[in-house]
Chain A
Amino acid sequence: MTALVNPGLAAELDRADEFNADACMNCGVCSAICPMGVDVAVRKLFRYVLLGMEEQVRAQTEAVFSCLLCKMCEENCPAGVHIAENVRTLRHHIVRTTFGLGEG
């Protein structure tokens, strides 16, 4: 398997110093507690971003948009990851780069 890597992806997403996927320590509390179940593995998504694996992020579009943004995971995250805002930021990225939307 080959993967095109965009090493600047995490920096591109960090528009307002709020995208802190690098704080995630992959403990899995978010996955265990997510009301939507394993469909939305935010830990995995954040790893893809940190590794610059943009295609893999796009391939998870339904997972990204299935998140409820309910912050149940964030409330219980021991690492203080801004999970909901990180996911929303990924949505903004997909909306612009995959759907070609987002002009005001």
Chain B
Amino acid sequence: MKEYGRFLWRCFRLSFVGDWRYYSWMLLLTVVALFGLNAYANQFVHGLITTGMTDQVSWGLYISNFTYLVGMAAAAVMLVIPVYIYKNKDLHDLVIFGELFAVASIIMCMLFVTVDLGRPDRFLHLMRLNLPTSMLAWDVIVLNGYLFLNLHICGYLIFCSYKRRKPTRKFYIPFVFIAIVWAISIHTVTAFLLVGIGGRPFWNNPIIVPRFIASAFSAGPAFIILTLQVIRRSSSYKVTDEALGLLRTIVTIALTINQFLLISELFTELYANTAHSISLQYLLFGLGDKNDLVGWIWPAMIFNTIALVLLYIPRSTTMMRTNVACVLLIVGIWIEKGMGLIIPAFVPTPIGEVVEYTPTGNEILITLGIWATGLLIYTIFVRITIPVLSGELTYDRVYRTEEEVLPDPISHPKGE
């Protein structure tokens, strides 16, 4: 236990060590996070009146980012399945970066839900959940469960590597398999949270659930592809082209399914053109002069389509096309599975009121702050994990950067 405390302390110190690029990145994230914190303090004092939400559109930017990030978190499973079920060697040493991203995403999800609550001081009321009927209650359980599963798996593997010890399979393999099912469940439950609302036909649509998962399994691994290339360039950690190629294939298949389901949804709703399609019409074409989302959803659909075309062109050695495709689809799906999914369901309301939603500056600052916090956490995770997994930082070895910058981190190491 003492050793574990010392491990955490050394990780904490290590998170303050890096080159100028690392410092600049962390400084930027810290500044944005603090601006977000300040904006949240403002919201906490004055109430949710500081947001753009209304009686008619009572979920906005926060819940939009929440639904998107639940997907990003579930995407770690796209690395876990090839490694633990199909015994893929290329991804074996990289799977942990997916799991760590899941942890960071879930933390962001929880922050987004917290800032969306009118009374966050009453979070202890969640100790008595309305089960089994409330999907939000289930969401609390599955998100927390997924967070702890991934924290345990990553923490255990990294600590074993730090101790230069072979991990005991029974302490993590069962949890890996539980986490695979659990990852699907977090996205399914979050989708059920929306599709179960009978009065809003835009959500009350079974295709939302598979589309949720397909879009998650393309945007999440796309983010991992970009991260792994940053890791490859900024450290000596081994990231093979084959690993990136496999992730690229996963993204391509998931995005193809997502686009197919999109066409299927568009056809069903627009061809029949019943009263149920009115929210989709608002999203795509606007209702009269109310058309705030039209300028967002079309670029999103075009981005995703271009990304799909780029991914079907055979991979080049520079990964340039893949990277462009990844950026396009991360943004495209952020719009489509964020604001594009949440807001139209409220416009019009079931009794016909049409009220549009525009986030306020304060709301946007809080959102940016949470993203910065999440990326800060993920950067620290990656910063610590690379030297530990590559054997440069262990319980009995001083890491070279520590030696240069920090005074004697292991004064009396055990076992020496």
Does A pair with B? no
